[in-house]
Amino acid sequence: MVTIEAWHDDFGKPRVNLHADVVFGTARLGGEAESPVRFRLRVKRAEVIVIVPDSEPVSIDRLSVSRDSPELHGRLKEAFAKKSQGGVKGGLSASLSKLGFSGKASAEAQAEATVSASKEFEMSGDVPLISVTQSKTADGHYRWSLEPHNSRALEGRPWDAMQQPRLALQDNRKDRSSGIPPTVRVEVHCKREDLEIEDLVIKDESQWEAVKRGLGSGNKMAAAESYIRDRLMSEGLDVVNIEDVFGQITLGSVIAESISGK
């Protein structure tokens, strides 16, 4: 459902950029023989958080933080239109008849041009598939909240990780040539209400009866939540009260790798 990669240049330089590549998709879960349920899982909203432990000799250059403001451009368009308005010019012609002289009025069409003007203001800009809003957590960590722009769930990348680093890290060690380099984590969080469970199927009714007794509930959703919790906890990720809609879930956590810069 979500993959994360994070990296930066070797800490030896006073300042390095932190890159985070996050990709969202649809997970197909429950394929194991022992699993009583099978379902699809997507995330509707999520947060990407950069965590710098207090014990690490590194700080964040706040001026470098990617604020992810959309770039919109305006253009004023002025249009002119010409219209024709019919006019009548009177004329008189004469003819001779048996009864005498008679007069006949004739009309001559005359076109008089008028001009009208209108103004329109147009805005243009790239519309991303994922909307990104930068802020801070209650603990003071920089985060980027993600929401789909025109779909029900997150799909793809929210940004170009190569071209758009999240922020710059400053190495605060006195001697950068020795000692253990600082470590920084990148995590993806969401709430229980942000998970979308679809196509939930009971694979084996006889197995399901045993599962219901263990769960203390006949709710299929409870089995799916139990499956998600067990999978995440097996990866060492935090799951806090998944039964509650506001329960906190850590979908992924990685330590940013140090790579040799050019």
- Between CA 251 and CA 77 the distance in angstroms is 47
Q: Judge residue 248's burial from the number of C-beta atoms within 10 Å of its C-beta, 0-12 exposed, 13-18 middle, 19 or more buried.
A: middle
- Same domain for 136 and 118: no
- Same domain for 19 and 51: yes
Name the residue type at position 239: V
Angle of the 220-234 helix axis to the 205-215 helix axis, nearest 10: 80
- Same domain for 93 and 12: no
Instruction: Domain count for the chain, please give it.
Output: 2
- Between CA 83 and CA 25 the distance in angstroms is 56
Cα separation values, 209 from 15, 142, 203, 218, 219, Å: 58, 46, 11, 8, 11
Q: What are phi and psi of 135, to 5 degrees?
A: -160, -165
For the chain, report the end-to-end CA distance as a whole number of angstroms.
Answer: 33
Tell me how far the alpha carbon of residue 12 is from its chain's centroid.
34
Q: What are phi and psi of 92, to 5 degrees?
A: -135, 130
CA-closest candidate to residue 124, choices 158, 77, 161 = 77
- Same domain for 174 and 104: no
- Same domain for 41 and 152: yes
- Same domain for 165 and 60: yes
Give, for all 262 residues of the chain, the pLDDT tens digit: 999 999 999 988 889 999 999 999 999 988 888 787 888 999 999 999 999 999 999 999 999 999 876 555 556 666 656 555 554 444 444 444 444 444 444 444 444 555 566 667 666 556 678 899 999 999 999 999 999 988 899 999 999 999 999 999 999 888 877 778 899 999 999 999 999 999 888 776 665 565 555 555 456 777 788 888 888 888 888 888 888 899 999 999 999 998 875 5
- Same domain for 241 and 173: yes
- Same domain for 81 and 29: no
Taking each continuous run of H as one helix and of E as one strand, the counts in the chain are: 2, 16
- Same domain for 215 and 100: no
CA-closest candidate to residue 36, choices 239, 227, 213 = 227
- Same domain for 131 and 119: no
Contact 85, 33 (CB under 8 A): no
| Strand order across the beta sheet in which 37-43 lies | 27-29, 37-43, 195-202
Write out pLDDT tens, residues 154-208. 999 999 999 999 999 999 888 877 778 899 999 999 999 999 999 888 776 665 5
Tell me, what's the pLDDT at 98? 44
Cut 0.75: pTM above it = no
Tell me, what's the pLDDT at 36? 76
Tell me, what's the pLDDT at 226? 83
SS3 at position 212: helix
- Same domain for 234 and 180: yes
For residue 174, what are the domain limits?
2-69+127-259
- Between CA 164 and CA 159 the distance in angstroms is 7
Angle, vertex CA 31, rays to CA 27 and CA 34, nearest 5:
135
- Same domain for 154 and 49: yes
Contact 46, 251 (CB under 8 A): yes
